[in-house]
Amino acid sequence: MNIVEFEISGCFLIQSKKFKDHRGSFVKTYHQDIYRELSLNFDFAEEFYSISHKNVIRGMHFQAPPADHDKIVYCPVGAVNDVFVDIRKSSKTYGQFKQIELTEDNGYILFLPKGIAHGFVSLADNTLMVYKTSTTHSTVNDAGIRWDSFGYDWKIENPILSERDKNFVDFSNFDSPFV
């Protein structure tokens, strides 16, 4: 595994080796010792996945304290433009965002710490995204910011969105619960 920290503190790109042969492919998505060597003490409490049609945008989601969580995400089938934004008030990169393509071909994995809003646009039908989180989902603490309010150009004219994602607060009016 090759692990690189992004400009946004605590956010990591994990490049795992992908093995391919006549049977298909194999990718290791998590290795506890490697994470701990980097002080990423991640014990996941919940895992889930989503399957999306092309042009679906999901985001920008996070869980507010005290149910906030670290998150690992990857795309084993299809492709997404994955986007995350720093919503930690005291961070020197507050309000900054990063985009990276996660695909079944590149096998990239993201580690996102507490205080990061996360979303993606699906680039292909039947795209599968897997999420591992350090806390279980809390309906009361489930939150987000509006997908088109923080400066990222999604490069899509007619995105498919949930009503929930359409109605999140704009970033300019957002009062972050993350110090």
Reduced DSSP (H G I as helix, E B as strand, rest coil) percent helix, strand, coil of the chain, to 5: 5, 45, 50
Q: Which of 35, 74, 131, 152 is catalytic?
A: 131
* 3-class SS of residue 7: coil
- The DSSP element (H or E) to which 36 belongs, if any, is helix 32-37
Residue 109: how many other CB atoms lie within 10 Å: 23
Q: Which of 35, 61, 108, 118 is catalytic?
A: 61
Catalytic residue status for 69 = no
| Residue of 4, 43, 16, 38 whose CA lies nearest to 109 | 16
| Residue of 111, 110, 62 whose CA lies nearest to 87 | 62
Q: Give every CB contact of residue 23 below 8 A, 6+ residues apart in sequence.
A: none
Catalytic residue status for 30 = no
Catalytic residues: 61, 131
